[in-house]
Amino acid sequence: MFEDSIDRDPQSVACIFCAITRGDVETDYLYEDDEIVAFRDINPQAPFHVLVVPRRHFPSVDAMVQDARDIEILGRLALVAVLVAREQKLADSGYRVVTNHGPHGAQSVAHTHFHVLGGHQLGVRLG
Ligand code: 5GP
Ligand code: ZN
């Protein structure tokens, strides 16, 4: 699961989210720019469940706090999460933005992604 957790390459050959952001896997993007794409989760946990993903391969958010350019992408991921939620008219009903890091965070794909969930009443408990 985390065998490429020290991978700092811009893209990782074995990574499914690198393949998706490269366009190797047929995927409808809800948002796309030079750095970031958003697409629906394959196993949605809510009526609206989208992943906001940098095109560049970072193992998780924990690997994005050293370099000012990486921190800027981190901030833009949060911005795009809000924009896709607003685009879906979720601002009034509410939504959740979450990212997981490492085993205790239950991260299963070792490429940074923010989940955006909404469209029904989410559970109160996060952990
Ligand atoms: P994590 O557990 O790492 O925070 O979240 C990984 C998410 O990626 C899961 O919600 C999982 O359903 C989703 N996922 C895994 N593989 C794919 C895929 O090939 N395509 C899409 N769209 N989502 C995926
Ligand atoms: Zn990747």
Confidence check: pLDDT of 2 > 50 = no
Q: What is the pLDDT of residue 9?
A: 63
The answer to whether position 123 is within a domain reads no
The predicted-structure confidence for 81-124, as pLDDT tens digits, reads as follows: 999 999 999 999 999 999 999 999 999 999 999 999 999 999 99
Distance 41 CA to ligand 1 centre (A): 6
In a domain, 43, yes or no: yes
Number of structural domains the chain divides into:
1
Q: Is residue 68 part of a domain?
A: yes
- Mean pLDDT of all residues in the chain? 93
pLDDT at 13: 77
CATH number at residue 55: 3.30.428.10
Flag whether 125 is in a domain: no
Range of the domain at 77: 3-118
Residue with tokens 């408990």: 125
Residue 54 lies in a domain: yes
Whether residue 4 is predicted with pLDDT greater than 60 in this model: the reply is: no
Above 80 in pLDDT, residue 34? Answer: yes
Q: Which residue has the tokens 């008219």?
A: 89
Closest atom of ligand 1 to 106 CA is: 2
Is there a domain that residue 92 lies in?
A: yes
- 88 assigned to some structural domain: yes
* Atom nearest to 39 CA in ligand 1: 22
- pLDDT, position 8: 55
Catalytic residues: 113
Q: Residue 124 domain-assigned?
A: no
Helix (H) or strand (E) holding 116, with range, is strand 114-118
With a pLDDT cut of 70, the percent of the chain lying above it is: 93
Ligand 1 mean position to 72 CA, how many Å? 23
Burial level of 1, CB count in 10 A (0-12/13-18/19+)? exposed
